[in-house]
A = this chain, B = another copy of it.
Amino acid sequence: MVRKTKEDAELTRQRIINAARTVFLTRGVSRSTLEHIAAQAEVTRGAVYWHFKNKTEIFYALRDRAFLPLIDRMYDTLAIQTDDIDPLTQIENSLSDTINELNENIEMRQIYEIMMIKCEYVDEFATVLQQILNNCSNITEKIQLAYERAHEQNLLTPTLTPHTLALDTHLFFSGLLHMWVKDADGSRFRHQAKQLIQSHINLRRK
């Protein structure tokens, strides 16, 4: 029974992507073979090769489904300028939202885990790392702008500049994401991630 409709084919494609997520997560990207992925998706390698050039392209598809959307979302949350909410709370919310999304969205969580501790950034994957770094820079810039607004509104302790505060926050959040992902049983960081974010921001409030 072959030759499905376009809708069926798209469904197969999605099943392959989802299968790859499961397989990557348990075996790591390198040790995952197209046969593993095909079996998990209940198709043959023929189907996988029809939809994707190779394993790398499946990885890219996975990244596009989770990593980029979450970055965009964070970026957007930070970029909004409103008077309803003070800039510090805005930063806090955007960080918390990201953690929320990871908590509630299994797919997101698993893809992040794959990208952080189940993937080796060499050759074709090295470019992915550069893209991540660039996104980080953009996020940091937005955070800095928010801190500048906070500074104008006289909300900050006068110790550091908005630029330095933004870098510190970025590093804090990078660390949090990494530890959040690694803390699989949730005992160390996951259960208190939001309080940690709140504390981090409170340390800056006048």
Give A residues with C-beta under 8 Å from B.
Answer: 26-31, 117-123, 129, 132-133, 136-137, 157, 159-160, 164, 167-168, 170-176, 178-179, 182-183, 188, 195-196, 199-200, 202-205
Contacts and interface: CB of A to CB of B under 8 A. Distances in A.
Nearest to A25: B122
Contacts of A172: 168, 171-172, 175
A171 B175 contact: yes
B173 A122 contact: no
Nearest to A137: B188
Given A129-B182, A199-B168, A118 B117 contact: no
Contacts of A31: 30, 120, 122-123
18 contacts: A28-B30, A28-B122, A30-B30, A117-B121, A118-B121, A118-B122, A157-B157, A159-B202, A159-B205, A160-B199, A164-B199, A167-B196, A168-B196, A168-B199, A173-B175, A174-B175, A175-B176, A203-B203
